[in-house]
Homo-oligomer: A and B are copies of this chain.
Amino acid sequence: MTATDPTDKPKGPLAGLLVIDLTRVLAGPYCTLVLQDLGATVIKVETPQGGDDARHYGPFVNGKSAYFMSLNRGKRSIALDLKAPADRAVFERMIGRADIVVENYRPGTMEKLGYGWQALRTLNKRLIYAAVSGFGQTGPYKNRAAYDMVVQAMGGVMSLTGHDDGKPTRVGTSIGDITAGLFGTIGILSALEHRHRSGEGTMVDVAMLDCQIAILENAIARYAATGQVPGPMGARHPSITPFEALKAADGHMVIAAGNDQLFARLADALGKPALAKDERFKTNDARTRNHGSLKAELEGLLAARPSTAWLAILDKAGVPCGPINNVAEALADPQIVARGMVVTTDDPVAGTLKMAGNPIKLSGFADPATRGPTPELDGDRAAILKELGL
Contacts and interface: CB of A to CB of B under 8 A. Distances in A.
A271 interface: no
Nearest to A158: B324
A358 B225 CA distance: 20
Interface string A193-206: 11011000011111
A129 B158 CA distance: 35
Given A53-B259, A159-B330, 15 more contacts: A70-B224, A135-B339, A136-B339, A141-B335, A145-B320, A147-B243, A148-B237, A154-B324, A161-B172, A168-B235, A169-B234, A175-B175, A202-B363, A213-B359, A216-B356
B220 A356 contact: yes
Question: How many copies of the chain does the oligomer comprise?
Answer: 2
Nearest to A64: B225
The 6 closest A-B pairs by CB, nearest first: A160-B172, A189-B189, A66-B225, A139-B338, A13-B194, A156-B330
Interface stretch (A44-52, A77-85, A179-187): A179-187
A258 B150 CA distance: 11
A230 interface: yes
Contacts of A60: 225
A366 interface: no
Nearest to A139: B338
A9 to B, nearest CB: 12
Interface residues of A, number: 152
Nearest to A225: B66
B204 A361 contact: yes
Contacts of A202: 13, 362-365
A207 interface: yes
Interface in A326-345: 326-331, 333-336, 338-339, 341-342
Chain A interface mostly: mixed
Nearest to A350: B225
A384 interface: no
Contacts of A96: none
Contacts of A210: 336, 339, 341, 357, 359, 361
A140 B360 contact: no
A58 interface: yes
Contacts of A57: 218, 239
Contacts of A298: none
A294 interface: no
Contacts of A139: 334-335, 338-339
Contacts of A290: none
